Structure formats: structure tokens, C-alpha cells
Amino acid sequence: MAMVEPIFFHPVFKERIWGGRKMAGYGYELPEGRVGECWLISAHAHGVSEVNGGEFRGKTLQQLWQEQPGLFGNPPAGKFPLLIKLLDATRDLSVQVHPDDSYARKHEQEAYGKAECWYVVECEEGAELILGHTAATKEELESMIHTGQWTDLLQRIPIQPGDFFFIPSGTVHALCRGTVVLEVQQSSDATYRLYDYDRRDQNGRKRELHLKKGLDVIQVPHIRSMEERRTLKEGENLVETLTENSQFSLRRIQLRGELSMSPHRTYALGNLLKGSAHLITDGGIHPLKQGDSFLLPHDLGDYSLRGHAELFITEPAPAKGYNMRRQAKAAVDLGGTNLRAAAVLSDGTIGRMLTTQTFAHLGPDYVIHNMIQLLHSLQSEWAFDSVGIASPGPLDARRGLILNPPNLPGWEMIPLKERLESALNLPVHIENDANAAALGEALFGAGKGKQSVFYMTVSTGIGGGFVYDGRIIRGAHSCAAEIGNMVIDPHGPEHPLLNRGALEVMASGTALNRRIQKELSNLDGAAALFRSAADGNSAAKQMVEEFLQSLSIGIANIIHVVDPDLLIIGGGVLQSKDWFWEPLLQKVQPYLYPQLRDKVEIKPAALGGNSGLIGVAHLGRQL
């Protein structure tokens, strides 16, 4: 019986008007011209990989797929599913969108649609990419495209080396100049060009646009899909899972010695971009050099990698019919600006998160429809037994009603629990967003292992939550920990809804920005205020001093009432904590009873903006 060995491929180069010469730095001998794409592993008819040595020398990947199915674990009939590229963008690429499987089969005679991902290998300082759009409805999207409002429509994201983006079909996107990315995608070349900056080719012609088909397939509103990158350290080696989705999985390996690898479920594809290594199998030792792309066949068995390199391992998703839906808890964070839904695992990590703008001004029916769509999308990959909703208050958690949150206009006595349970056929739990964040931090964040945890969020407003023995303390009227209305200065600023001089009126991000605009209008927000104070600006120093004093009085009051093991501070203002954290801690102590000083820990939140999602996902464990 012949020994199973890795199979190596020649790359296929593509000239593009936006391409360059940077791929020469990754071990490739480039042809003349602007090389924009290097198809590393492909069975697509527009650029088929050829085996460059060994038993199958000269065979194409498509031939291996058809003639040697055992190499791939005897997959069902069909086309090879994946395509891996290296892209070098020296100019902005056209703004485009890709169809899903059903649309591509019907309209393009392609076997697959095109979901893809980008790993940023290198980029220039200040580089960015386009990912998503700002339209709330199809009508608004069509209007903005046909009237050329591209600046307002397109969402631009700053990037740096090592960033990773998963781009589902239906997502408006574009690489921008100064970027080299590794792209893993479904094996499809179906692309609908929406906007090309009115550029002309070498013959003076504008490139073709595909607006009708593009508008057919664009996801509205835009939904961004993100996963928590999971890293395992084995000795000096790092194995980072970048994505596990319904089309493929991708891992990045930072090799610093020897690493043992287990057999793959069917087969795997490897790409070595930096350094060199050896791949060691029962059949021998195979050198890997920069630029190598290879197939790890189904029956390869255990193998190991040895060397100093950066490489990527891609695996196809299980064949249709294989139940790949993983168990998780569903969570939704309903905010005035963003609507997020996530699959949260039992250890508090996030398997996948989908984010879209709330567009709250369009009313509850619009938002609830999008919430249901997000959850249905997650259910294609995840199996849920319940759904938790973190919502701004006031609300009635027991009856599942959203009462009248100030940042959700039109949401008055909305039976959110009833409507979602009817649509999803799952039990739904609703909780105040600050309570949900408190539970998340207590179970999995900064408060893990503590019996008594108080959480306060300092952001647009100020809220709180108290968790004791892993349970939220809501109070007799579900108003416990509503610390934003706590009076700090009875002679302070007035507010239409809150007490005069309340903590939220004195020390929230909104209050701080209002003062900045009124008294120091030359400064752009809280971060600029803290920097200016550190630079010695006396007016800025005075404003920071008064902000910290109000906040410290509020913290001291909470500690006197609750006497927690730990007080956690989260929220948007914490983004500037490096400028004020130590002075804040120092200011709290004099306001405390002597026996409490330095006894109650005060820590920043550990889960960032995901505290509420993680907490509300695990709300069912205490119901």
C-alpha cells in the first residue's frame, strides 16, 4: 500500500489593474505586470491548480477531485468547494457584492455562491477596507446608489496586520490600497461590481457594473459577522482558530518548534506564508518553504510540523446531511444604536456574533423583524434551547414587556417576549441591560469567583446591577441598582426625567460631552479632554476633577449601601481609563468608612462591550 503524502501545487497568477509586485516577497516568481491575485489552491475553471511533484505531478486539482476521491474522504458528488488566494491591492478595488449558493446556481451557472474571509498579512499605515453600508431599507439603498451617495453609503474600517474579517455572501465590501490579504472563499468567481470610482481600463472604457444583480443580493440592513478568535498555546507554538463557519474553517499556526497535529475530518489545505518548516508523516519528512501550498489528504493520519513559520490550515465544512449545528445559548443586545445577536458557549465565549444598526426611529416592528432575522441566521449553525434579550429599561422582565425606553422611540408596552416566542418557538427571557452585564461579569468576567459583585456602567447614561451568589438582585419593584438617579449634588444641573444633580446628570458620558461642547468646544470628546488635562490645560483639569469627584461620590455611596466583594466599572467612558483610573480610585477612599477603605476591590470590566450578551445568554440558569 502506497504511503499517503502531502500534495503540492503550482500557483496561478492573475494580472489586475489594482495589482502590484508585493507577492514577490512571499516566495513567488511573478510574471510581468500588475499581479493582483495569486490563486494558491483552486479547482475553479478560471484558474486551476496543478500538482508540482510526486506521484500526481502534472495533474490538476480538479482531476484529483474527480479521479482520486479517496484523497478527499470520498465526498459526495459535486465541485471542489474551496479557493484560496493571496491578494495584493496597490489601488482600491471596486466596491462589490457576491451572491449566495442558490442565486449563483440560478443566475451564474456556478456551483457555489461566494462567502469569503480576509486575513490581513500586511498593510500600510492608515490602511482601511470597505465593509458594509448604512442603508436601513432596500428603497434607501437603491436611492443612494442611483444618486451616487457613495461616501455616505459605504462603511470604512481601519485595519492593521493580523486583522481578520469574515464576509458572508450579500455583504458590500472592497479591499483598499496598500493591503495584502490571504483570502479563503467558496469556489466561485461570481462577483457583482457596484462602483469602480469611474476608472477606465487601458482602452479607455469604464469597467462593467452589475447593479441589478447586486441589488438583488445585498443584505439590508448590513449585518456584520464576527467570531471570537480562539488561541491555544502548545509550548512556544500558537494555534489560532480564525473562523468555523458553514462553508469552511481556518486556523493560523505560529510555529516555533515542533507541533503535533491530529488527523483531519476529511482533508485540509495548507499555505505557508512566512519562514520554513518540515511536515513529518509516517511516509517521511517533507520540507515546507515560503510560498508553498499543499493538500493534506484524508488518510494522512497524525503528523507534526517542525520549524519557524507562519502557516494557515483550511478545512471544508462537513458535507450536507452532517449535523454540524453546535449547542449554544442565544443572546440579543437591543441598543439604541446597534442591535447584536450572538451564539454564546457554556464557558462564556462567543461562537459567533451578528451586528447591525438598530435604526430605532423606524419603530419596533422593523427592529423586531431584524432581530428575528439575526436569530434565524444564527440557527443555521447553532442549536439553541432559549433566547435571552438584554434591553434598556424601563421594562417588566417578569411579563416580558418593554415599557418606554428613552432611546427606543415608539417602544411603549411592547410584548417583546410574546412576539419572539411566537416567531422562534423558543422560551425567551428579557433583562435590563445593566443587570445582564452585571451577571456576565460576575459569572465569566472580572467578578468570577466572587460572591457579591456590583457592576456600574458609565456610558451614554449610568446604570448598575447587583449579583449575589450568581443571582441578579432586582428588588421588590425591579428597580434595584438604578444608580443613575442617585443624587450627587442637589444644586447640580436639572434633567427632564432624572433628579437634579443625579449621578447620570453629573458623570455620564453624555454629561461630560455636554460640558465639553459648552465650555471647551475646541476639544473633540472625552478622550481629547483627558489628554488636554494631562497636558496641563487648567480648564480641562478642572472639568476632569469635577467629573471624577461626582463619580467617586457615587461609587462610595454604592459601597456603603451594598458592601460588595467587588465593584466593577464598565461602559464607553472606560475607553479613556488610562487617563483617569488611578486618580479615581484615590478619590473614592476618603469618602468611605475607615473600615471599608482599600477593602472593596474596584476593577474595570473584563468582557468589554460583550458583558450584557454573555450575561443574558446565561440568564436561564437562575430562572
Beta strand segments in 403-494, E = 428-432, 452-458, 462-468, 471-472
Helix (H) or strand (E) holding 306: strand 303-316
Under a CB-based contact definition with an 8 Å cutoff, are residues 492 and 501 in contact?
Answer: yes
Handedness of CA 590, 595, 600, 601 (dihedral sign): positive
Give the whole-angstrom CA distance, residue 547 versus residue 581.
12
- In degrees rounded to 5, what are phi and psi of residue 355? -130, 135
Give the whole-angstrom CA distance, residue 198 versus residue 202.
13
CB burial readout 374-402, b (16+ within 10 A) else e: bbebbeebbebebbbbbbbbebebeebbb
Give the whole-angstrom CA distance, residue 187 versus residue 83.
5
Q: Give Cβ neighbours of residue 150 (< 8 Å, ≥ 6 apart).
A: 95, 144, 195
The full length of the chain comes to 623
- In degrees rounded to 5, what are phi and psi of residue 10? -75, 145
Q: Give helix 525-534 / helix 577-588 axis angle, nearest 10°.
A: 70
Under a CB-based contact definition with an 8 Å cutoff, are residues 430 and 389 in contact?
Answer: yes
Cell of 309: 513559520
SS3 state at 87: strand
Under a CB-based contact definition with an 8 Å cutoff, are residues 350 and 343 in contact?
Answer: yes
Give the whole-angstrom CA distance, residue 233 versus residue 49.
33
Enumerate the β-bridge partners of residue 414.
402
SS (H, E, C) 243-278: EECCCEEEEEEEEEEEEEECCCCCCEEEEEEEEEEE
- 397 closest CA partner among 386, 389, 405: 389
SS3 state at 31: coil
Residue spans of alpha helices (H) in 168-266: 211-217
Cα-Cα-Cα-Cα torsion 50, 53, 58, 62, nearest 10 degrees, comes to -40
193 is catalytic: yes
SS3 state at 599: coil
Q: Give Cβ neighbours of residue 491 (< 8 Å, ≥ 6 apart).
A: 500, 501
Give the whole-angstrom CA distance, residue 211 versus residue 104.
15
Give the whole-angstrom CA distance, residue 332 versus residue 386.
11
Per annotation, catalytic residue among 16, 57, 193, 230: 193
- In degrees rounded to 5, what are phi and psi of residue 44? -75, 145
Under a CB-based contact definition with an 8 Å cutoff, are residues 94 and 172 in contact?
Answer: no
* Burial bucket for residue 212 (CB in 10 Å: 0-12, 13-18, 19+): exposed
| Distances, alpha carbon 154 to alpha carbons 118, 179, 591, in Å | 18, 18, 49
Give me the active site residues, please: 193
